[in-house]
Amino acid sequence: MFLRSRAGLRRTAIIAALSVGLITPMAGVAAAGPGKPGTGKSVAAAAGLRSYLVITAPNDTSGAKSAVSTNGGTVYASYDAIGVIVAHSTATDFASKMRSVSGVQQVGASRTSDVPAASSNPAIPTSPSQTTPTANETSRVDMTQIGADKAWEVTTGSSNVLVGVIDTGVDDQHYDLKANFDASKSVSCAYGKVDARTGSWRPVGDHGTHVAGTIAAAKNGKGMVGVAPSVRVASIRVAEPTTQLFFPENVVCGFMYAGDNGFAVTNNSYWTDPWWANCPNNVDQAAIMEAVKRAADYATGKGVLNVVAAGNENTDLDNKSTDTLSPDDSTPSSRPVTASCKIVPGELESSLTVGSITSSNAKSSFSNFANKVNVAAPGDNVYSTMPGGNYGQMSGTSMATPHVAGVAALIKSVNPSATVDQIKAKIAEQADDLACGSDSRCKGTTAKNTFYGEGRVDALAAVQGGTPPQPGGPWENTDDVQIADNGAAATSTVTIDGRTGNAPAATKVDVNIVHTYVGDLELNLIAPDGTSYSLRRANPGDGSANLTTQFTVDLSSEVANGGWKLSVRDTATYDTGYINSWKVTF
Is position 207 annotated as part of the catalytic site? Answer: yes
CA distance linking residue 452 with residue 525, whole number of Å:
51
CB-CB contact of 339 with 317 (8 Å): yes
CB-CB contact of 579 with 516 (8 Å): no
CA distance linking residue 114 with residue 95, whole number of Å:
15
For 31, residues 6+ apart whose C-beta sits below 8 A from its C-beta are 25, 112, 330, 331
CA distance linking residue 417 with residue 151, whole number of Å:
19
Q: How far is CA 406 from CA 14, 142, 544, in A?
A: 22, 12, 40
Is position 479 annotated as part of the catalytic site? Answer: no
Helices in 119-277 by DSSP H: which ranges?
Answer: 141-145, 148-151, 207-216, 248-260
CB-CB contact of 119 with 253 (8 Å): no
CA distance linking residue 563 with residue 444, whole number of Å:
58
CB-CB contact of 93 with 309 (8 Å): no
Catalytic residue among 78, 351, 367, 398: 398
CA distance linking residue 562 with residue 558, whole number of Å:
10
Q: How far is CA 222 from CA 183, 305, 365, 391, in A?
A: 22, 30, 32, 11
Catalytic residue among 174, 207, 210, 515: 207
**CB burial class (10 A; 0-12, 13-18, 19+) of residue 195?**
middle
For 86, residues 6+ apart whose C-beta sits below 8 A from its C-beta are 51, 52, 53, 54, 75, 76, 77, 78, 79, 110, 192, 193, 249, 252
Is position 167 annotated as part of the catalytic site? Answer: yes
Catalytic residue among 114, 167, 273, 323: 167
Q: How far is CA 278 from CA 1, 19, 96, 327, in A?
A: 14, 31, 20, 10
Query: In 3D, which of 427, 372, 430 has the Cα closest to residue 397?
Result: 372
Q: How far is CA 348 from CA 271, 392, 531, in A?
A: 11, 31, 48
CA distance linking residue 337 with residue 499, whole number of Å:
56
Count of C-beta atoms within a 10 Å radius of residue 324: 12
Q: Give how far the C-alpha of residue 404 lies from the chain's centroid of Cα atoms, to the nearest Å.
A: 13
Query: In 3D, which of 386, 372, 374, 318 has the Cα closest to residue 13?
Result: 386
Q: Would you give the DSSP letter of residue 161?
A: -
Helices in 37-156 by DSSP H: which ranges?
Answer: 62-70, 94-99, 141-145, 148-151
Catalytic residue positions, numbered: 167, 207, 398
